[in-house]
């Protein structure tokens, strides 16, 4: 089934540790995104990529980095995790080349707890 795969599903992490959340899509979408979702705040954009080889900062980029070496993969790295990064992380993709809505398709999410 075509879609987005995120890993891990859930992770508990000690503060100060490095962590990479993986995201892979098989829809050949050119754009990919990372959002975090916190209670009462909704989904907030961390980083995005319009096409392989390019990335951009979203609303809350501090403490996170991304890379886009190819079309399918868009990993999100926390270089030194802090408790405020405890959240549910959603990866999403969209087809910018198509006309119209440019609908986002989301992965199932990664629940990260930083202690």
Partner 1 sequence: GQNIDQPTEMTATEGAIVQINCTYQTSGFNGLFWYQQHAGEAPTFLSYNVLDGLEEKGRFSSFLSRSKGYSYLLLKELQMKDSASYLCAVREGDYKLSFGAGTTVTVRA
Contact 101, 34 (CB under 8 A): no
103 binds partner 1 (CB under 8 A): yes
Site size toward partner 1 (CB under 8 A) is 26
Which of residues 11 and 105 has its CB atom nearest to partner 1 in the complex? 105
Question: In this chain, which of 69, 79, 82, 96 binds partner 1, going by CB under 8 A?
Answer: 96
Q: Is 62 exposed, middle or buried (0-12, 13-18, 19+ CB in 10 A)?
A: exposed
106 binds partner 1 (CB under 8 A): yes
Pair type for strands 19-25 and 105-106: unpaired
Nearest-approach distance from CB 81 to partner 1, in angstroms: 23
Which of residues 2 and 42 has its CB atom nearest to partner 1 in the complex? 42
The one-character DSSP state at 84 is: G
Kindly report the backbone phi and psi dihedral angles of residue 37, in degrees, each rounded to the nearest multiple of 5, phi listed first.
-125, 120
Considering only residues 12 to 71 of the shown chain, the ones binding partner 1 according to CB under 8 A are 31, 33, 35, 40-45, 48, 50, 58-59
Contact 91, 74 (CB under 8 A): yes
Residues that bind partner 1 (CB under 8 A): 31, 33, 35, 40-45, 48, 50, 58-59, 90, 94, 96, 100-109
């Amino acid at each position: 089934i075509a879609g987005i795969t995120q890993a891990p599903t859930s992770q508990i992490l000690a503060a100060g540790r490095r962590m990479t959340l993986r995201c892979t899509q098989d829809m050949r979408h050119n754009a990919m995104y990372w959002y975090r979702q916190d209670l009462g705040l909704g989904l907030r954009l961390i980083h995005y990529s319009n096409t392989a080889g390019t990335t951009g900062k979203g609303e809350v980029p501090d403490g996170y980095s991304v890379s886009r070496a190819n079309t399918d993969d868009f990993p999100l790295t926390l270089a030194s995790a802090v408790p405020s990064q405890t959240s549910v992380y959603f990866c999403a993709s969209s087809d910018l080349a198509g006309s119209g809505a440019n609908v986002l398709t989301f992965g199932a999410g990664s629940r990260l707890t930083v202690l």
